[in-house]
Amino acid sequence: MRMWIILLGTVLLSACGKPTLVDRTSDIPDTGWTYADTLRWEFEVADTNAIYDLLLTIDHGTDFRYQNCYVQFHTLFPQGEVLTEAVSLELQTQVGQWLGDCGRSECTLTIPIQQNAFFNQPGEYAILMEQYMRQDSLLAIESFNLRIEDTGKRRNQ
C-alpha cells in the first residue's frame, strides 16, 4: 500500500510541470559522439503567440576531456527555411570545476539555449544538433535532453 501512495504522489508531482512542445532524451553510444551522429528533435507548433524557453540537459562523465563542447544547431522551419548557429556549451568554470550537479563520475547540467523564444509559423519544426569539435569521436558524453517549455507568456503582435 505504501508503494502505491509513493507512486501516485510521484505521478501527481510530475504532472504539475510546465506544458512542453518537446521533452525528449537522445542517448549517445558508448563508442562516442561522432560527426555522423546528428541528434534530431521534431515538434509541432500551433500557437505562434506563445513564448518558450529552450533548455538542453547534458549528462556526461567527469572524464570528459574538455571545458566546453562546441555544437551546431540547425532549426528547420515548416516552410523549408534552415537556421544554423554554432554554440559553445560550457561544462566547466575557468578554473576547471564542473558546472551542474556532479557526483564522482557523472555530471548533469541544464543549459538555457534560448529564453523567451517564439515560433512565427505554425507547423512541423525540427531541431538538429551535431557535435562541432576538432575530434570526431567525443567520449564521456552520455545523453542530451531537449526541453521546450511554454513560459505562459504571450508575445505582442
Q: Under DSSP, is residue 131 helix (H, G, I), strand (E, B) or coil?
A: strand
Domains of the chain in start order, with CATH, are 19-154 (2.60.120.1300)
Listed in sequence order, the residues at least 6 apart from 53 whose beta carbon sits closer than 8 Å to its beta carbon are: 112, 114, 115, 116, 117, 148, 149, 151
For Cα atoms 133, 71, 44, give the angle at the middle one, nearest 5 degrees: 155
Which tens digit of pLDDT belongs to each residue from 74-130? 999 999 999 999 999 999 999 999 999 999 999 999 999 999 999 999 999 999 999
| Out of 15-19, 51-55, 60-64, least confident range | 15-19
The percentage of the chain sitting over the pLDDT mark of 90, rounded to a whole number, equals 87
Instruction: Give the torsion through C-alpha atoms of 146, 112, 81, 83, to 10 deg.
Output: -120
Give 30's contacts (C-beta < 8 A, 6+ positions apart): none
